Copies of this chain bind each other. A is one copy, B any other.
């Protein structure tokens, strides 16, 4: 069990895989999980992809563009994440044309890693459950 190493690379992940899925015969066992905080959704598959893209591009607007998402929507998601986290997961530099850069804080890095480890264990759970299915 190499749980310390995330199973997925950034290149493999996109929003079409938001639901974990294991096929068995005619059927596919699917599932999803997410974290809610005091104001609703805190972290889920799409938000974590956004965090990874912010890390990759160093910019909320470029991360948003890479996901076909408006800057405003991405900014709202980051705001929702930061306000519900014990410490902010994204740090933004203000000023300048384009609004300055953005990066993940240490807490942000850890949250992303923890999410993918949970995702891998969830896939393992579904794999085991698919093996039990009798219909």
Contacts and interface: CB of A to CB of B under 8 A. Distances in A.
A54 to B, nearest CB: 17
A35 B19 CA distance: 12
How many of these chains are in the complex? 2
B26 A135 contact: no
A130 to B, nearest CB: 9
A114 B135 contact: yes
Residue among A34, A38, A114, A125 with most chain B CB within 10 A: A125
A91 to B, nearest CB: 16
A122 B26 CA distance: 22
Nearest 5 A-B pairs (CB), nearest first? A31-B33, A28-B36, A125-B125, A27-B35, A27-B37
